[in-house]
């Protein structure tokens, strides 16, 4: 952990005005085999972590890694079975940005991985107040919406979300969150 954030951000009240900031992990050294396009290399946990660690937090000018929302130990990849599972941990238990964070991770994976992968992005159990939303009738969507497989539209599982935004807003969303 490095220190506490300044709380400067989107203007208005922040849910977590002074988050803890964690030190970024170092860059992974690239091996000669990984640089050789003739040698097939499997996708591993670290590669997925490297894809998502630099996504910007919706509330702060920090990355998901710097806020400890994503950690390499919470990324699981099985390249042979074409599965990726990512658990993310909101900075506070009642974070209203959790859905947007999950969507951001999901879109980054969809845009980066081959279509053969089935992805599951979910909140780390026990870290969010809406974890049992279905039991209490909360309007917060269940986070299983981030699971996907199959063709691009099925993989997206986000058609309902992006249908709310015209194409221009969609591109702004992707650019703002560092997903393009």
DSSP codes joined into one string, the chain: --EE-----SSS--TTSS-EE-PPPPPPPPPHHHH-TTS-----HHHHHHHHTTPBPSSSSSBTTTTTSS-GGGEEEETTTTEEEEEE--SSTT-TTHHHHHHHHHHHHHHHS-TT-EEEEEEPTTS-GGGGHHHHT-SSPPGGGG-B-SSHHHHH--HHHHTTS-HHHHHHHHHHTT--
Per-residue pLDDT tens over the stretch 129-178: 876 653 333 333 334 434 445 444 444 445 545 555 445 455 555 655 55
Per-residue pLDDT tens over the stretch 3-35: 444 444 444 567 777 777 777 787 777 777 777
Per-residue pLDDT tens over the stretch 75-134: 999 999 999 999 999 999 988 888 889 989 998 999 999 999 999 999 999 888 876 653
């Amino acid at each position: 952990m490095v220190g506490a954030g300044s709380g400067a951000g989107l203007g208005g009240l922040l849910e977590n005005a002074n988050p803890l900031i964690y030190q970024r992990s170092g860059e992974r050294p690239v091996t000669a085999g990984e640089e050789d396009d003739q040698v097939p290399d499997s996708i591993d946990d670290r590669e997925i972590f490297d894809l998502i660690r630099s996504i910007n937090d919706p509330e702060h000018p920090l990355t998901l890694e710097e806020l400890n929302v994503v950690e390499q130990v919470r990324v699981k990849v099985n390249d042979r079975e074409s599965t990726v599972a990512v658990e993310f941990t909101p900075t506070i238990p009642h974070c209203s940005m959790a859905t947007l964070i999950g969507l951001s991770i999901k879109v980054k994976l969809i845009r980066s991985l081959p279509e053969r992968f089935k992805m599951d992005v979910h909140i780390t159990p026990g870290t969010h107040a809406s974890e049992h939303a279905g039991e209490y009738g909360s309007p917060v969507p269940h986070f299983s919406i981030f699971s996907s497989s199959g063709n691009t539209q099925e993989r997206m599982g986000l058609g309902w979300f992006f249908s709310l935004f015209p194409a221009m807003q969609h591109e702004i969303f992707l650019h703002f969150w560092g997903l393009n």
